Structure 1
Amino acid sequence: MQRRTTPGSSRRSEASRRAILTAAFELAGEVGYAKLSIEGIAARAGVGKQTIYRWWPSKGAVLFDAILSLSEGPEGSALPDTDDLEADLKAVLRATVDELADPRFDRPLRALAIEITQDPKLAALYAERLDGPMQELKKARLRAAQKAGQLPGDLDLDVAVDLIWSPLLGRWLYRSGPLTHAYADAVVETALRGLRHNTEPAS
Protein backbone atom coordinates (compact mmCIF):
# COMPACT_ATOMS: atom_id res chain seq x y z
CA MET A 1 0.00 0.00 0.00
CA GLN A 2 1.45 3.37 -1.00
CA ARG A 3 2.04 5.80 1.83
CA ARG A 4 0.36 9.14 1.29
CA THR A 5 1.94 12.40 2.40
CA THR A 6 -0.55 14.56 4.24
CA PRO A 7 -0.40 18.37 4.19
CA GLY A 8 0.44 18.34 7.88
CA SER A 9 3.38 15.98 7.44
CA SER A 10 4.66 18.06 4.51
CA ARG A 11 4.58 21.19 6.65
CA ARG A 12 6.39 19.38 9.47
CA SER A 13 9.03 18.12 7.05
CA GLU A 14 9.61 21.61 5.67
CA ALA A 15 9.77 23.05 9.20
CA SER A 16 12.35 20.41 10.16
CA ARG A 17 14.37 21.11 7.03
CA ARG A 18 14.43 24.86 7.71
CA ALA A 19 15.40 24.23 11.34
CA ILE A 20 18.29 22.01 10.23
CA LEU A 21 19.59 24.56 7.72
CA THR A 22 19.38 27.36 10.27
CA ALA A 23 21.13 25.26 12.89
CA ALA A 24 23.94 24.30 10.51
CA PHE A 25 24.53 27.90 9.45
CA GLU A 26 24.50 29.24 13.01
CA LEU A 27 26.77 26.52 14.38
CA ALA A 28 29.30 26.91 11.58
CA GLY A 29 29.59 30.56 12.53
CA GLU A 30 29.80 29.83 16.26
CA VAL A 31 32.12 26.82 16.51
CA GLY A 32 33.74 26.61 13.08
CA TYR A 33 33.59 23.82 10.55
CA ALA A 34 36.02 21.49 12.32
CA LYS A 35 33.74 21.28 15.36
CA LEU A 36 30.51 21.23 13.38
CA SER A 37 28.84 17.83 13.58
CA ILE A 38 25.63 16.14 12.48
CA GLU A 39 24.93 15.43 16.17
CA GLY A 40 25.29 19.12 17.02
CA ILE A 41 23.10 20.20 14.13
CA ALA A 42 20.42 17.67 15.11
CA ALA A 43 20.45 18.82 18.73
CA ARG A 44 20.19 22.49 17.79
CA ALA A 45 17.40 21.81 15.28
CA GLY A 46 15.49 19.48 17.60
CA VAL A 47 15.50 16.54 15.20
CA GLY A 48 17.06 13.09 15.07
CA LYS A 49 20.30 12.40 13.18
CA GLN A 50 18.50 10.09 10.79
CA THR A 51 16.27 12.96 9.72
CA ILE A 52 19.36 14.83 8.57
CA TYR A 53 20.89 11.81 6.84
CA ARG A 54 17.63 11.24 5.01
CA TRP A 55 18.19 14.51 3.13
CA TRP A 56 21.97 15.10 3.21
CA PRO A 57 25.00 12.76 3.05
CA SER A 58 27.37 14.95 5.08
CA LYS A 59 27.69 18.06 7.20
CA GLY A 60 29.29 19.80 4.22
CA ALA A 61 26.21 19.16 2.11
CA VAL A 62 23.98 20.54 4.88
CA LEU A 63 26.09 23.68 5.18
CA PHE A 64 26.08 24.18 1.42
CA ASP A 65 22.28 24.05 1.33
CA ALA A 66 22.12 26.38 4.33
CA ILE A 67 24.27 29.00 2.61
CA LEU A 68 22.42 28.56 -0.68
CA SER A 69 19.05 29.04 1.04
CA LEU A 70 20.23 32.33 2.57
CA SER A 71 21.72 33.70 -0.64
CA GLU A 72 20.02 34.80 -3.80
CA GLY A 73 20.07 31.81 -6.10
CA PRO A 74 20.96 32.11 -9.77
CA GLU A 75 17.63 30.78 -11.00
CA GLY A 76 15.48 33.45 -12.58
CA SER A 77 18.14 36.11 -12.04
CA ALA A 78 20.54 37.90 -14.33
CA LEU A 79 23.37 40.35 -14.03
CA PRO A 80 22.33 43.99 -14.53
CA ASP A 81 22.45 45.22 -18.12
CA THR A 82 22.14 49.00 -18.41
CA ASP A 83 24.29 49.07 -21.56
CA ASP A 84 27.16 50.35 -19.38
CA LEU A 85 29.33 47.27 -18.86
CA GLU A 86 31.78 48.89 -16.47
CA ALA A 87 29.06 50.30 -14.21
CA ASP A 88 27.18 47.00 -14.23
CA LEU A 89 30.24 44.95 -13.29
CA LYS A 90 31.19 47.40 -10.56
CA ALA A 91 27.69 47.08 -9.09
CA VAL A 92 27.94 43.28 -9.09
CA LEU A 93 31.41 43.17 -7.55
CA ARG A 94 30.49 45.74 -4.92
CA ALA A 95 27.52 43.58 -3.92
CA THR A 96 29.88 40.60 -3.72
CA VAL A 97 32.19 42.59 -1.42
CA ASP A 98 29.25 43.41 0.83
CA GLU A 99 28.21 39.76 1.09
CA LEU A 100 31.74 38.50 1.76
CA ALA A 101 32.23 41.20 4.40
CA ASP A 102 29.01 40.25 6.20
CA PRO A 103 30.14 38.65 9.49
CA ARG A 104 27.21 36.21 9.34
CA PHE A 105 28.56 34.70 6.14
CA ASP A 106 32.33 34.97 6.57
CA ARG A 107 33.03 31.89 8.69
CA PRO A 108 30.47 29.56 7.07
CA LEU A 109 31.61 30.55 3.57
CA ARG A 110 35.26 29.96 4.42
CA ALA A 111 34.37 26.57 5.88
CA LEU A 112 32.50 25.63 2.74
CA ALA A 113 35.35 26.79 0.50
CA ILE A 114 37.82 24.59 2.37
CA GLU A 115 35.52 21.57 2.41
CA ILE A 116 34.90 21.81 -1.34
CA THR A 117 38.63 21.32 -1.94
CA GLN A 118 38.57 18.07 0.05
CA ASP A 119 35.21 16.52 -0.85
CA PRO A 120 34.77 15.67 -4.56
CA LYS A 121 31.05 14.99 -4.15
CA LEU A 122 30.49 18.35 -2.50
CA ALA A 123 32.61 20.02 -5.19
CA ALA A 124 30.43 18.44 -7.87
CA LEU A 125 27.28 19.59 -6.08
CA TYR A 126 28.67 23.12 -5.80
CA ALA A 127 29.54 23.16 -9.50
CA GLU A 128 26.11 21.87 -10.50
CA ARG A 129 23.88 23.99 -8.29
CA LEU A 130 25.76 27.25 -7.81
CA ASP A 131 29.07 27.82 -9.57
CA GLY A 132 28.01 26.49 -12.97
CA PRO A 133 24.76 28.50 -13.20
CA MET A 134 26.53 31.63 -11.93
CA GLN A 135 29.28 31.21 -14.52
CA GLU A 136 26.64 31.09 -17.24
CA LEU A 137 25.03 34.30 -15.96
CA LYS A 138 28.38 36.08 -15.95
CA LYS A 139 29.19 34.88 -19.46
CA ALA A 140 25.73 35.90 -20.68
CA ARG A 141 26.40 39.49 -19.57
CA LEU A 142 29.80 39.53 -21.26
CA ARG A 143 28.29 37.97 -24.38
CA ALA A 144 25.77 40.83 -24.53
CA ALA A 145 28.69 43.27 -24.33
CA GLN A 146 30.33 41.46 -27.25
CA LYS A 147 27.18 41.85 -29.34
CA ALA A 148 27.12 45.55 -28.48
CA GLY A 149 30.72 45.91 -29.67
CA GLN A 150 31.98 46.65 -26.16
CA LEU A 151 34.22 43.56 -26.00
CA PRO A 152 36.13 41.65 -28.72
CA GLY A 153 34.02 39.05 -30.50
CA ASP A 154 36.73 36.39 -30.16
CA LEU A 155 37.15 36.90 -26.40
CA ASP A 156 37.43 33.71 -24.33
CA LEU A 157 34.54 34.28 -21.94
CA ASP A 158 35.69 31.67 -19.40
CA VAL A 159 39.04 33.43 -19.08
CA ALA A 160 37.34 36.83 -18.94
CA VAL A 161 35.11 35.72 -16.06
CA ASP A 162 38.18 34.51 -14.16
CA LEU A 163 39.99 37.82 -14.76
CA ILE A 164 37.09 39.84 -13.40
CA TRP A 165 35.92 37.75 -10.43
CA SER A 166 38.91 35.73 -9.22
CA PRO A 167 40.96 38.62 -7.73
CA LEU A 168 38.10 39.52 -5.41
CA LEU A 169 37.59 35.96 -4.17
CA GLY A 170 41.33 35.38 -3.83
CA ARG A 171 41.83 38.49 -1.69
CA TRP A 172 38.91 37.46 0.52
CA LEU A 173 39.97 33.83 0.90
CA TYR A 174 43.63 34.53 1.67
CA ARG A 175 43.07 37.81 3.53
CA SER A 176 45.78 39.33 1.34
CA GLY A 177 44.45 42.88 1.54
CA PRO A 178 41.42 45.02 2.35
CA LEU A 179 38.25 44.01 0.54
CA THR A 180 36.57 47.28 -0.38
CA HIS A 181 34.38 48.85 -3.02
CA ALA A 182 37.43 50.79 -4.22
CA TYR A 183 39.29 47.52 -4.79
CA ALA A 184 36.32 46.04 -6.65
CA ASP A 185 36.17 49.12 -8.89
CA ALA A 186 39.91 48.89 -9.58
CA VAL A 187 39.59 45.21 -10.54
CA VAL A 188 36.83 45.98 -13.04
CA GLU A 189 38.69 48.94 -14.55
CA THR A 190 41.96 47.02 -14.90
CA ALA A 191 40.32 43.90 -16.31
CA LEU A 192 38.26 45.79 -18.87
CA ARG A 193 41.27 47.84 -19.95
CA GLY A 194 42.97 44.61 -20.95
CA LEU A 195 39.90 42.87 -22.35
CA ARG A 196 38.99 45.85 -24.54
CA HIS A 197 42.48 46.24 -25.99
CA ASN A 198 41.59 44.73 -29.37
CA THR A 199 37.98 45.87 -29.54
CA GLU A 200 37.00 47.31 -32.88
CA PRO A 201 34.71 50.35 -32.80
CA ALA A 202 31.07 49.36 -33.18
CA SER A 203 29.74 50.09 -36.68
Structure 2
Amino acid sequence: MSAGRPAVARQVPHHGTEAHRRHPRTKPEQRLPGRPRSEQASRAIIAATLEMLAEGVSLDSLSMEAVATRAGVGKATLYRRWSNKAALISDALVSLYEPPVPVLRGSVREELTTAVDDLRRWTRDSIAGRLLTHFTSGPCCSPELRAQYFQSVIEPKKAVFREILRRRIVNGDVHPSIDIEATLWIVFGSVLFGYALSEGAGEEQFSSDNIVDLILPGISSASPPQ
Protein backbone atom coordinates (compact mmCIF):
# COMPACT_ATOMS: atom_id res chain seq x y z
CA MET A 1 0.00 0.00 0.00
CA SER A 2 1.41 3.41 -0.97
CA ALA A 3 2.24 5.75 1.84
CA GLY A 4 -0.30 8.47 2.42
CA ARG A 5 -2.96 6.77 0.29
CA PRO A 6 -6.17 6.20 2.24
CA ALA A 7 -7.32 2.61 2.59
CA VAL A 8 -10.51 1.72 0.75
CA ALA A 9 -12.83 -0.52 2.68
CA ARG A 10 -14.10 -3.57 0.76
CA GLN A 11 -17.83 -3.56 0.16
CA VAL A 12 -19.23 -6.83 1.45
CA PRO A 13 -22.65 -7.68 0.01
CA HIS A 14 -25.30 -7.82 2.67
CA HIS A 15 -28.36 -10.02 2.31
CA GLY A 16 -30.51 -7.25 3.69
CA THR A 17 -29.66 -4.75 0.96
CA GLU A 18 -32.34 -3.21 -1.19
CA ALA A 19 -30.92 -4.89 -4.29
CA HIS A 20 -31.22 -8.31 -2.70
CA ARG A 21 -34.77 -7.62 -1.62
CA ARG A 22 -35.64 -6.63 -5.17
CA HIS A 23 -34.02 -9.72 -6.66
CA PRO A 24 -34.11 -12.48 -4.05
CA ARG A 25 -32.48 -15.77 -4.85
CA THR A 26 -35.18 -18.21 -5.82
CA LYS A 27 -35.22 -21.58 -4.14
CA PRO A 28 -35.63 -24.72 -6.18
CA GLU A 29 -39.27 -25.81 -6.32
CA GLN A 30 -40.02 -28.15 -3.48
CA ARG A 31 -41.70 -31.46 -4.24
CA LEU A 32 -45.05 -31.93 -2.65
CA PRO A 33 -45.75 -35.05 -0.61
CA GLY A 34 -47.00 -38.09 -2.47
CA ARG A 35 -50.68 -37.15 -2.21
CA PRO A 36 -51.68 -37.89 -5.83
CA ARG A 37 -50.09 -41.32 -5.57
CA SER A 38 -51.89 -41.92 -2.27
CA GLU A 39 -55.26 -40.94 -3.75
CA GLN A 40 -54.62 -43.13 -6.78
CA ALA A 41 -53.99 -46.13 -4.52
CA SER A 42 -57.19 -45.46 -2.57
CA ARG A 43 -59.23 -45.22 -5.77
CA ALA A 44 -57.71 -48.45 -7.07
CA ILE A 45 -58.58 -50.26 -3.83
CA ILE A 46 -62.19 -49.03 -3.86
CA ALA A 47 -62.57 -49.94 -7.54
CA ALA A 48 -61.14 -53.42 -6.97
CA THR A 49 -63.53 -54.02 -4.06
CA LEU A 50 -66.60 -53.04 -6.07
CA GLU A 51 -65.53 -54.95 -9.17
CA MET A 52 -64.96 -58.18 -7.23
CA LEU A 53 -68.33 -57.94 -5.51
CA ALA A 54 -70.08 -57.15 -8.80
CA GLU A 55 -68.41 -60.19 -10.37
CA GLY A 56 -70.03 -62.43 -7.77
CA VAL A 57 -67.48 -62.69 -4.97
CA SER A 58 -69.53 -62.95 -1.78
CA LEU A 59 -69.07 -60.62 1.16
CA ASP A 60 -67.89 -63.57 3.22
CA SER A 61 -65.35 -64.71 0.60
CA LEU A 62 -63.94 -61.28 -0.16
CA SER A 63 -60.49 -60.96 1.43
CA MET A 64 -58.29 -57.96 2.04
CA GLU A 65 -55.36 -59.79 0.45
CA ALA A 66 -57.32 -60.48 -2.75
CA VAL A 67 -58.42 -56.84 -2.95
CA ALA A 68 -54.82 -55.64 -2.55
CA THR A 69 -53.67 -57.98 -5.32
CA ARG A 70 -56.48 -56.88 -7.63
CA ALA A 71 -55.73 -53.20 -6.93
CA GLY A 72 -52.00 -53.68 -7.51
CA VAL A 73 -51.00 -52.41 -4.06
CA GLY A 74 -49.28 -53.97 -1.08
CA LYS A 75 -51.22 -55.24 1.91
CA ALA A 76 -49.55 -52.60 4.08
CA THR A 77 -50.91 -49.88 1.79
CA LEU A 78 -54.40 -51.32 2.13
CA TYR A 79 -54.29 -51.76 5.90
CA ARG A 80 -52.98 -48.23 6.42
CA ARG A 81 -56.26 -46.99 4.97
CA TRP A 82 -58.75 -49.61 6.19
CA SER A 83 -58.13 -51.75 9.23
CA ASN A 84 -60.81 -54.31 8.36
CA LYS A 85 -63.05 -55.51 5.55
CA ALA A 86 -66.27 -54.00 6.90
CA ALA A 87 -64.74 -50.51 6.92
CA LEU A 88 -63.45 -50.97 3.37
CA ILE A 89 -66.81 -52.16 2.04
CA SER A 90 -68.63 -49.34 3.84
CA ASP A 91 -66.42 -46.71 2.19
CA ALA A 92 -66.79 -48.46 -1.16
CA LEU A 93 -70.57 -48.15 -0.82
CA VAL A 94 -70.29 -44.46 0.06
CA SER A 95 -68.33 -43.94 -3.17
CA LEU A 96 -71.34 -45.20 -5.15
CA TYR A 97 -73.52 -42.26 -4.13
CA GLU A 98 -74.95 -40.39 -7.11
CA PRO A 99 -77.09 -37.25 -6.71
CA PRO A 100 -80.68 -37.69 -7.90
CA VAL A 101 -81.14 -36.79 -11.57
CA PRO A 102 -84.61 -35.49 -12.53
CA VAL A 103 -86.29 -37.23 -15.45
CA LEU A 104 -87.79 -35.49 -18.47
CA ARG A 105 -91.25 -34.16 -17.78
CA GLY A 106 -94.39 -35.03 -19.68
CA SER A 107 -97.64 -36.53 -18.47
CA VAL A 108 -97.56 -38.20 -15.07
CA ARG A 109 -97.68 -41.59 -16.78
CA GLU A 110 -94.82 -40.71 -19.15
CA GLU A 111 -92.70 -39.33 -16.33
CA LEU A 112 -93.19 -42.35 -14.08
CA THR A 113 -92.58 -44.76 -16.97
CA THR A 114 -89.31 -43.00 -17.84
CA ALA A 115 -88.22 -43.15 -14.19
CA VAL A 116 -89.03 -46.88 -13.97
CA ASP A 117 -87.14 -47.49 -17.23
CA ASP A 118 -84.10 -45.72 -15.79
CA LEU A 119 -84.33 -47.73 -12.57
CA ARG A 120 -84.55 -51.04 -14.43
CA ARG A 121 -81.59 -50.12 -16.64
CA TRP A 122 -79.55 -49.05 -13.60
CA THR A 123 -80.34 -52.31 -11.79
CA ARG A 124 -79.25 -54.38 -14.76
CA ASP A 125 -76.20 -52.45 -16.01
CA SER A 126 -74.51 -50.60 -13.15
CA ILE A 127 -72.06 -51.96 -10.58
CA ALA A 128 -74.22 -50.51 -7.81
CA GLY A 129 -77.28 -52.30 -9.15
CA ARG A 130 -75.46 -55.61 -9.50
CA LEU A 131 -74.51 -55.44 -5.83
CA LEU A 132 -78.17 -55.58 -4.84
CA THR A 133 -78.25 -59.28 -3.94
CA HIS A 134 -75.26 -58.88 -1.60
CA PHE A 135 -77.13 -56.39 0.56
CA THR A 136 -80.71 -57.64 0.41
CA SER A 137 -80.77 -61.43 0.42
CA GLY A 138 -77.18 -62.27 1.34
CA PRO A 139 -76.90 -63.98 4.75
CA CYS A 140 -73.39 -62.59 5.29
CA CYS A 141 -74.44 -58.95 5.15
CA SER A 142 -74.38 -57.08 8.45
CA PRO A 143 -77.24 -54.71 9.32
CA GLU A 144 -74.77 -51.82 9.20
CA LEU A 145 -73.63 -52.59 5.64
CA ARG A 146 -77.20 -53.17 4.50
CA ALA A 147 -78.19 -49.78 5.91
CA GLN A 148 -75.18 -48.16 4.22
CA TYR A 149 -76.13 -49.66 0.86
CA PHE A 150 -79.69 -48.40 1.10
CA GLN A 151 -78.59 -44.96 2.26
CA SER A 152 -75.85 -44.43 -0.35
CA VAL A 153 -77.30 -46.32 -3.30
CA ILE A 154 -81.06 -46.87 -3.06
CA GLU A 155 -82.16 -43.65 -1.35
CA PRO A 156 -80.99 -41.35 -4.21
CA LYS A 157 -83.03 -43.48 -6.62
CA LYS A 158 -86.09 -43.23 -4.39
CA ALA A 159 -85.61 -39.46 -4.21
CA VAL A 160 -86.26 -39.20 -7.96
CA PHE A 161 -89.68 -40.86 -7.60
CA ARG A 162 -90.45 -38.96 -4.41
CA GLU A 163 -89.87 -35.65 -6.19
CA ILE A 164 -92.14 -36.68 -9.08
CA LEU A 165 -95.00 -37.66 -6.78
CA ARG A 166 -94.73 -34.53 -4.62
CA ARG A 167 -94.67 -32.26 -7.64
CA ARG A 168 -97.61 -34.07 -9.23
CA ILE A 169 -99.59 -33.68 -6.00
CA VAL A 170 -99.03 -29.92 -6.20
CA ASN A 171 -100.04 -29.95 -9.89
CA GLY A 172 -103.21 -31.87 -9.09
CA ASP A 173 -102.31 -35.02 -11.05
CA VAL A 174 -101.81 -37.20 -7.95
CA HIS A 175 -104.17 -37.36 -4.99
CA PRO A 176 -102.69 -35.64 -1.89
CA SER A 177 -103.81 -38.43 0.46
CA ILE A 178 -101.56 -41.11 -1.06
CA ASP A 179 -98.84 -42.73 1.01
CA ILE A 180 -95.75 -41.70 -0.96
CA GLU A 181 -93.34 -44.07 0.78
CA ALA A 182 -95.65 -47.06 0.31
CA THR A 183 -95.99 -46.17 -3.36
CA LEU A 184 -92.21 -46.03 -3.70
CA TRP A 185 -91.79 -49.47 -2.21
CA ILE A 186 -94.37 -50.92 -4.59
CA VAL A 187 -92.25 -49.64 -7.48
CA PHE A 188 -88.92 -50.62 -5.97
CA GLY A 189 -90.17 -54.00 -4.84
CA SER A 190 -91.35 -54.74 -8.37
CA VAL A 191 -88.08 -53.68 -9.98
CA LEU A 192 -85.24 -54.28 -7.53
CA PHE A 193 -86.36 -57.27 -5.54
CA GLY A 194 -88.09 -58.89 -8.49
CA TYR A 195 -84.85 -58.63 -10.45
CA ALA A 196 -82.68 -59.80 -7.56
CA LEU A 197 -84.81 -62.81 -6.64
CA SER A 198 -85.17 -63.94 -10.25
CA GLU A 199 -81.49 -63.18 -11.06
CA GLY A 200 -82.61 -61.16 -14.06
CA ALA A 201 -85.04 -63.76 -15.41
CA GLY A 202 -88.00 -61.58 -14.49
CA GLU A 203 -86.77 -58.78 -16.73
CA GLU A 204 -88.93 -60.00 -19.62
CA GLN A 205 -91.94 -60.90 -17.49
CA PHE A 206 -93.16 -57.35 -16.98
CA SER A 207 -92.48 -53.95 -18.48
CA SER A 208 -92.19 -50.47 -17.04
CA ASP A 209 -95.62 -49.76 -18.53
CA ASN A 210 -97.06 -52.70 -16.58
CA ILE A 211 -95.70 -51.36 -13.28
CA VAL A 212 -96.97 -47.83 -13.87
CA ASP A 213 -100.37 -49.06 -15.03
CA LEU A 214 -100.71 -51.03 -11.80
CA ILE A 215 -100.00 -48.09 -9.47
CA LEU A 216 -101.44 -45.17 -11.43
CA PRO A 217 -105.15 -45.90 -10.79
CA GLY A 218 -104.47 -45.98 -7.06
CA ILE A 219 -102.65 -42.65 -6.89
CA SER A 220 -104.41 -40.59 -9.56
CA SER A 221 -106.44 -37.60 -8.43
CA ALA A 222 -109.18 -38.83 -10.79
CA SER A 223 -109.66 -41.93 -8.63
CA PRO A 224 -108.72 -41.04 -5.03
CA PRO A 225 -107.63 -43.87 -2.71
CA GLN A 226 -110.35 -45.32 -0.50
Rg larger in structure: 2
Shift of 1:148: 0.5
TM-score for the superposition, normalised by structure 2? 0.69
Check if 1:11 corresponds to 2:36: yes
2:50 aligns with one of 9, 13, 25:
25
- The match for 1:49 is 75
Report the residue type matching 2:37 in the other structure.
R
Show CA shifts across 1:17-60 (max 9, x none): 22112222332344521432111001111223354344446545
**8 Å Cα contact 2:162/2:184 also seen in 1:** yes
- By relative contact order (CA 8 Å, sep 6+), the higher-ranking structure is 1
User: What CA distance in whole angstroms lies between the structure 1 residues aligned with 2:84 and 2:65?
Assistant: 11
Q: 1:61 & 1:141 partners in 2: Cα distance?
A: 35
Name the CA distance, whole Å, in 2 between partners of 1:36 and 1:151.
46
Q: Provide the identity percentage.
A: 24
Partner of 1:3: none
- Structure 2 residue 120 is the aligned partner of structure 1 residue 97: yes
Structure 1 letter corresponding to 2:35: S
Aligned partner letter, 1:132 = E
Q: Which runs of 5+ in 1 are unaligned?
A: 1-5
Q: Which residue of 2 aligns with 1:141?
A: 164
Match of 1:192 in 2: 216
Q: Which residue type is aligned with residue 39 of structure 2?
A: E
Is the partner of 2:105 in helix, strand or coil? coil
Count of aligned residue pairs for this structure pair: 191
Alpha-carbon distance change, 29 to 120 in structure 1, aligned in 2, over 3 angstroms:
closer
Structure 1 range deviating more: 9-18 or 41-50: 41-50
More helix by percentage: 1
State whether residues 135 and 149 of structure 2, in contact with CA within 8 Å, keep that contact through their aligned partners in structure 1.
Answer: no
CA 185–50 in structure 1, closer or farther in 2 if over 3 Å, else same: farther
- C-alpha separation between the residues in 2 aligned to 1:57 and 1:84? 51
- RMSD in angstroms over aligned alpha carbons? 3.2
Helix, strand or coil at the partner of 2:153: helix
Q: For residues 121-170 of structure 1, give each alpha carbon's deviation from its aligned partner in whole angstroms, at most 9, with x where no partner exists.
A: 21232343333344334212210010010111121111111122211112
Q: Distance in 2 between the 1:108 and 1:191 partners?
A: 27
SS of match in other structure, 2:116: helix
Give, in whole Å, the separation in 1 of the partners of 2:68 and 2:187: 40
- Using a 3 Å threshold, how does the CA distance of structure 1 residues 115 and 57 change in structure 2: closer, same or farther? farther
Three-state SS of the structure 2 residue aligned to 1:178 is helix
| Number of the residue aligned with 2:207 | 183
